Chain A
Amino acid sequence: MAKPKRDYDDIPGTFVFDARRAKQGYALNMFCKSLDVAENREQFRRDEARYLSSFDLTDEQREAVLERQWLRLLELGGNMYFTFKLAIFDGKSMQHVGGEMSGMTEEEFREMMLRGGRRETDG
């Protein structure tokens, strides 16, 4: 049977959460989901590395979590709705994360949205 066609890989700056990413990012995303529970947030706050050791992350994923590399997390299989739970844990907004991923400050990102959002010409 023919494999599904992936005619979206050429869309710039976009990580479509398909089967490939779901497999790659399962543990990473489920770690993020675990932060929904207050007790887990407490444990993560006490010792991030130790808490992470109970999830089956790759070394690269672990480092990206610890260093809050928002774009890298997507490259390593993260899904935005899940990785954003880590940003919420940090008290960061979607505009902060959007800025970080696209090389802007939160303020610059907010200004861009007020002008009507990103266009092709915004990079």
Chain B
Amino acid sequence: MARIIAGVGSSHVPAIGAAMDNGKTDEPYWQPLFAGFEPAREWIDDVKPDVVILIYNDHASAFDLDIIPTFAIGVAPEFPPADEGYGPRKIPMIKGHPDLAWHLTESLIDDEFDMTICNKMPVDHGCSVPLSIMFGQPDEWPVTVIPIAVNVIQFPPPSGKRCYDLGRAIRRAVESYDEDLKVAVFGTGGMSHQLQGQRAGWTNPDFDKKFLDLLGPQPEELLSISPTEYIREAGSEGIELVMWFIMRGALDPEVREVHRHYHVPASNSAVGLIAYENSDR
């Protein structure tokens, strides 16, 4: 049986990927951020998941305003890095897991989560930066990846509770898959940041720290935060944090926090990284 062994909440700031791609991680600006990633990398190298279900949002790369799926799952064998205007990131091809991805799709739709099915989906920094954060710069990624893209750009986004419930449904789906596979779920985006308007540059470390404190032991206390409250407190792009609930919902009710890192800033954003293990991993 496949089982979920671990979860990671991670920012996906594009500048983090660019700093790695351009060899800047030892510069004074970046060094403290990357130093905080090291223990998480060592941990995941020990945990060794076979598959990562990677929850992220597309940033006008695979999708534009013609079609805006709320939840989209990638079932392809490969997901090429998208060209976001600088040329595609020079990273290894992201390999999918079509069998498990189709199983998830069928199970989730049977479970009343109406996923949009994507046979072709270039993935942008939202998906690739968390892989870089957790696995560094290998010649090939040590995991296969099932990307799930969530709309948080066109208002309204799905609610925190809906995301949490999707996570629970993902868990049921994984556990009904016959092959022995170790699965990790990454929920990405955030933390507090605002890219747009006269309020650009907004961050809120108090909000972020409370979010990190509660997400493991008392996630239900965070689920009622409304989209408006995210925008007000965590900035207009801080709304991405709802995607962390999909990860949290896929884990046990009780989890062990194994790593936490928080840093401001990377480019225009606050950065958070948190890792959990299920008790039976």
Which of A's residues lie within 8 Å of B, judged by CB?
Answer: 4, 7-8, 11-19, 22, 26, 29-30, 32-33, 35-36, 71, 74, 79-82, 84-85, 88-89, 94-95, 97-99, 101-103, 109, 112-114, 116-118, 122-123
The answer to whether A117 and B65 have CB atoms under 8 Å apart is: no
The answer to whether A114 and B231 have CB atoms under 8 Å apart is: no
The answer to whether A118 and B267 have CB atoms under 8 Å apart is: no
Chain A residues with CB under 8 A of B232:
8, 11
- Within the complex, the shortest CB–CB distance from B213 to chain A, in Å, comes to 19
Interface centre among A22, A113, A116 (most CB of B within 10 A): A113
* Among listed B40-48, B108-116, B200-208, B246-254, interface-contacting one: B200-208
**Contacts A11-B231, A18-B155 known; A71 to B85 CB distance under 8 Å?**
no
Q: How far is the CA of A74 from the CA of B59 in the complex (A)?
A: 16
- Within the complex, the shortest CB–CB distance from A74 to chain B, in Å, comes to 6
**Contacts A12-B199, A35-B85, A74-B196 known; A98 to B64 CB distance under 8 Å?**
no
Chain B residues with CB under 8 A of A112:
201
**B: contact size bracket:** 35 or more
**Contacts A113-B267, A117-B265 known; A89 to B85 CB distance under 8 Å?**
yes
Q: How far is the CA of A26 from the CA of B155 in the complex (A)?
A: 14
Which of B's residues lie within 8 Å of A, judged by CB?
Answer: 59-61, 64-66, 83-86, 153-156, 192-203, 205, 227-228, 231-232, 236, 264-265, 267-268, 270
Instruction: Name the contact of A16 in the complex, choosing from B59, B86, B155, B200 (C-beta under 8 A).
Output: B155
The answer to whether A15 and B196 have CB atoms under 8 Å apart is: yes
Classify the interface of chain A: helix, strand, loop or mixed.
Answer: helix
Q: How far is the CA of A12 from the CA of B2 in the complex (A)?
A: 47
10 A-B pairs with the lowest CB-CB distances in the bound complex, closest first: A117-B203, A13-B198, A13-B199, A88-B85, A98-B200, A80-B196, A118-B201, A18-B155, A13-B197, A113-B265
